[in-house]
Amino acid sequence: METLVQSLLTYSLLFVAISHTLPPLACSFPISHHFPAVFNFGDSNSDTGELSSGLGFLPQPSYEEAYFKTPYYGRFCNGRLILDFLMEAIGRPYLRPYLDSISRQSYRRGCNFAAAASTIQKANAASYSPFGLGVQVSQFITFKSKVLQLIHQGDDELERYLPPEYYFKNGLYMFDIGQNDIAGAFYSKTFDQVLALIPTILDIFQDGIKRLYEEGARNFWIHNTGPLGCLAQVVSLFGKDKSKLDEFGCVSDHNQAAKLFNLQLHGLFKKLPQLYPGSRFTYVDIFSIKSDLLLNHSKYGFDHSIMVCCGTGGPPLNYDDEVGCGKTATSNGTIKTAKPCIDSSKYVNWDGIHYTEAANRFVALHILTGKYSETA
């Protein structure tokens, strides 16, 4: 049986490398369809429309059209996110954003509080997103309180759209956040100052866990952060000095900071079960999965690792920080339009910051093997 499972996985990896058109993913340990609901917290890596709903962004046609076509939901990708693929794997609907006031979807199977550009730390006047982790947790607490009030009124119709109390207690609480805390810090701090900030960031993260635990949450799923130094935006802005780049063309300082953040996050993960009795925590090593994809992209059927699909400027990055994907703007006195590539399945990076749907599928498939997860 083990040989058969390995063969099926090998076939799946080969197939996704060739076409990226696999049928819905099958579930594997440790994520399970037994969780009645999922509540997600994070940034653009798992935002299904929260920032768009909250701040009223107009859609960019290039985003999401690889899968969702129309209408625009607000994902920062050309299609599905890692979170979307995980929801498919456990037979759950895509998570509806908390601030999505008009939708055909219900909240019965969970809710998404993740918002693009969000940080673990509290937002400030310079923040692009006001929805830091603390705000997201507060939104959840409000959501839960109002849902239970409505449910207790005994309206059977509402129970079709809202999660019962049992779902809150036995649901899965997912986190994919921290990337913007580390990457954003480099704009105003030295490498050593960024490293010194990590314990404070993780103290705030733990406070979010504590507040959710006090609300009855018991099942926690935590993604670490990816190799930030390999994002085209980071390479463009911080890699002008070639001595800052490693042999793969990534910015060394950003990747080292991400590694230290992950190391300390893992240390916190090991302590959390003792701090919050009766809880189950899963730590997912996203950094290793994404690093493998980037360093061995050709092996997995991708032509480009750092170079973006939707951009302007041509090789080696096809990225211009002043011209976002799908937009037209003046850069260095020249009017430029950032257009998507012909075949996004050949690119790991979509717009300089976010991965393509094909890359997200690759990451999700590897998460589902269970080989990159640790449960405590």
Which residues are identified as catalytic? Answer: 44, 351, 354
Q: Which residues contact 87 (CB under 8 A, 6 or more apart)?
A: 38, 93, 94, 95
Query: E strand or H helix at 167, and its extent?
Result: helix 165-170
Q: Which residues contact 157 (CB under 8 A, 6 or more apart)?
A: none
Residue among 324, 313, 362 at smallest CA distance from 61: 324
112 strand-pairing partners: 40, 97
Q: For residue 374, which phi and psi values (nearest 5 degrees)?
A: -135, 130
Q: Which residues contact 235 (CB under 8 A, 6 or more apart)?
A: 229, 245, 249, 250, 251, 306, 317
Q: Which residues contact 191 (CB under 8 A, 6 or more apart)?
A: 253, 256, 257
Distances (CA, A) of 90 to 80, 223, 229, 375: 15, 17, 32, 18
Q: Do 95 and 89 meet the contact criterion of CB atoms below 8 Å apart?
A: no
Largest pairwise CA distance in the chain: 65
Q: For residue 197, which phi and psi values (nearest 5 degrees)?
A: -80, -20
Distance CA 332, CA 330 (A): 7
Which one-letter amino acid corresponds to residue 172?
Answer: L
Q: Do 229 and 179 meet the contact criterion of CB atoms below 8 Å apart?
A: no
Chain centroid to Cα 204, Å, comes to: 19
Give the angle subtended at the CA of 201 by the CAs of 196 and 202, to the nearest 5°: 105
Q: Do 218 and 170 meet the contact criterion of CB atoms below 8 Å apart?
A: yes
